[in-house]
Amino acid sequence: MAFLDSRWFRAFFAAAFGIAVFAVVVTGWWASTYMIPVRQVRDAVQEKLGGGEPATFEQVIFNKATRVGCGYALVKNRAGGGTERTHFILFPNGELALAPADTAEGDAAQQIAALEKQARYAALIVSNCTS
């Protein structure tokens, strides 16, 4: 029992307890800062996309400064067949923006309009998704 009363044991126990408390605090901070907002973004996008089966998400981030979630989701192809990987932006008001189609068919005016949509979406990415 002398060992339990020794200064070395008390110092070791105090240090171990301090490290454990520090680890719990850091884990809680990390979860509330990164994991929980990303999970909320995924859930909100899944709800907006609809569909019975869950979507697959990649590289989802939550920008704390703009309160916007961004990432990639596998969604049903707009043409109706298969799935495609598309970028999304989820705004704080719940609005979901999906990347416009990469290609446009038609005359020059339609192609220019498609390029303008892509440029506006790229501007949204720069202003909302990057730190």
Q: What is the mean pLDDT of the chain?
A: 82
pLDDT bin (cut points 50, 70, 90) of residue 3 is: low
**pLDDT value for 112:** 84
pLDDT > 70? residue 131? no
**Dist CA 112 CA 51 (whole Å):** 32
Alpha-carbon distances of 79 from 23, 44, 76, 84, 101, rounded to whole Å: 49, 24, 8, 10, 11
How many Cβ atoms sit within 10 Å of the Cβ of residue 76? Answer: 16
**Dist CA 88 CA 35 (whole Å):** 18
Residues 34-51, mean pLDDT to the nearest whole number: 83
**pLDDT value for 36:** 83
pLDDT bin (cut points 50, 70, 90) of residue 74 is: confident
List pLDDT tens digits, range 84-109: 788 899 999 988 888 887 777 778 88
Q: What is the pTM of this model?
A: 0.70
**Dist CA 113 CA 28 (whole Å):** 47
